[in-house]
Structure 1
């Protein structure tokens, strides 16, 4: 395992520890969520992607900034919270809730858009001794499958196709998902 991967795993453990001690729920998303659901690091990752409730973001930022994390000056905090610790980049996409309490996109141009049902109900993932909340495998598949449809300017990358194959194998699901509005 190379150095950046070790530092990313350490940052994941730190976020889970800090957020957990403060009662702030967080969920891994993206490539690291897949790896934690598979139980192994499958490839190098550029960054660590998370979800947090929008109303918890300022408190989470304050706690991490006190531990020498720093804000990414390139990204507006209105869309998501982007932080660095050393050379590890972490982004916290905001979650909102609809009138029935179901999760929605919590910031940016898609605010209020419903997110996949059951997305936050997955069992925690594990790599070695580290156990971390993640979004569900079904939601991971939907996101990987639909990003090029929702955002045509973001074509599917080869790593996304590889991730889809791994996620489908672990879920036993291979059929297409219904496009979301």
Structure 2
């Protein structure tokens, strides 16, 4: 996924009144304000109320559902072969902000903003992105992401990610 692909989806959703938050590696780069590495996909969080419309927009842009074994109604992949993929994470909160459906995104995690190729985008808030990135055994790209977030935002790097 290239920055242009991310921004094309962002613009299409904006025109349709659909809001999503960038997660994963692209979120790290948005928070840093620059692309630091290549990305195999775009991870996004979206409210359940907008999920069907997002699916329509992705389809209009040429993405096809990838019905792999881990596909669920709240977490699925859509792709344009061979190299464009969007990993959709659906969430729903109750009036108190508790997750009632889908992926465990605390309500205040959906409050970040960043920059991709000069364009402001919604993304996972920096403290939450750091928390998410340090919650699993890291690959080398995760260690690099964690180091970059720590350097910009002053987070303490756990031993597991040094």
TM-score tier, shorter chain, comes to 0.7 to 0.9
Show the 5 A alignment for 1:33-112.
Answer: 33-74=27-68, 75-86=70-81, 87-100=83-96, 102=97, 104=99, 106-107=101-102
Name the residue aligned to 1:158.
140
Give distance in 2, aligned partners of 1:97 and 1:55. Answer: 10
The structure carrying a bigger strand percent of its residues is: 2
CA contact (8 A) 1:145 1:164 kept: yes
Q: What is the alpha-carbon distance in structure 1 between the residues aligned to residue 45 and residue 14 of structure 2?
A: 14
- Shift of residue 36, structure 1, vs aligned partner: 0.9
| Residue 152 (structure 1) aligns with | none
Give the deviation of 1:81 after TM superposition. 3.2
Structure 2 spans left out of the alignment, 5+ residues? none
Deviation (angstroms), 1:84:
1.0
Matched residues in 1 for 2:107 and 2:57: separation? 30
TM-score by length of 2: 0.85
Alpha-carbon separation, structure 2, partners of 1:18 and 1:69: 13
Point out which structure has higher relative CO (alpha carbons under 8 A, 6+ apart).
2
State the shift of 1:77 in Å.
Answer: 3.7
Q: How many residues align?
A: 156
Match of 1:172 in 2: 154
Q: Which runs of 5+ in 1 are unaligned?
A: 1-6, 149-154, 177-181
The verdict on how the C-alpha distance between 1:170 and 1:126 changes in structure 2, with shifts beyond 3 A counting, is same
